[in-house]
Amino acid sequence: MDDGKLLNLSVGDNVPDNRFTAKAWSGEVAIQGKPVSVDITRPAVKALAGQQFPVLAELELYFSCLVRKQVRFRALTGFEQVSTGYARVLPGLFASFRAVCTQHCKIADVDGKPPVETLPVKRSGLFVPDWLKLDFRAGQWLGAYGFKRTL
């Protein structure tokens, strides 16, 4: 895998729970100070063992004309591994959260993917998700995250 190459992308649509039934690891990590429950399937744990570089699962909440959530996967190389913004989930696996927004909302004026910038979030605990599920199927990473329902 090339440095920084996007491995796979889950665009917030409903991923069936049966995709994540073969749990090999369940636990909790703190992402930006908030506890996040994590479930990782057996194929994902096995895939981690074969990676040359650690993998980052970046939980992205995208604000634009609409709101979108996604999990981006990429390899970590060099000094990126020691970033204080990454939570160590397992050896070779880190997670982070990033709220982003488009630099402007006139999509028609942009060729290709609109540029984004990190959105400064003062109370990140309100935006960091409550759970994360990771899988590895057919050579691709798959991720989903969400929020607990509170009544």
Residue 58 lies in a domain: yes
Q: Is the pLDDT of residue 149 over 80?
A: no
Report the C-alpha gap between 68 and 119 in whole angstroms: 14
Average pLDDT, the chain: 79
pLDDT in tens, 7-22: 444 444 455 555 666 6
Q: Identify the burial level of 76 via C-beta atoms within 10 angstroms of its C-beta, where 0-12 means exposed, 13-18 middle and 19 or more buried.
A: buried
Q: What angle do CA 91, 28, 79 make, to 5 degrees?
A: 40
Eight-state DSSP code of residue 64: S
pLDDT in tens, 50-107: 899 999 999 999 877 777 788 999 988 866 656 678 999 999 899 999 988 877 666 5
Give the per-residue pLDDT at 20.
Answer: 66
pLDDT in tens, 100-145: 887 766 656 656 677 787 877 888 888 899 999 999 999 999 999 9
Residue-range definition of the domain harbouring residue 75: 6-12+21-146
Residue 141 lies in a domain: yes
Residue 129 lies in a domain: yes
Q: Identify the burial level of 41 via C-beta atoms within 10 angstroms of its C-beta, where 0-12 means exposed, 13-18 middle and 19 or more buried.
A: buried
Residue 1 lies in a domain: no
Residue 105 lies in a domain: yes
pTM: 0.74
Residue 78 lies in a domain: yes
Give the per-residue pLDDT at 62.
Answer: 83
Residue 151 lies in a domain: no
Report how many domains make up the chain. 1
Residue 96 lies in a domain: yes
Eight-state DSSP code of residue 42: H
Whether 50 contacts 58, CB under 8 Å: no
**Nearest CA among 8, 128, 15, 137 for reference residue 73:** 8
Alpha helices in the chain (DSSP H): 42-49
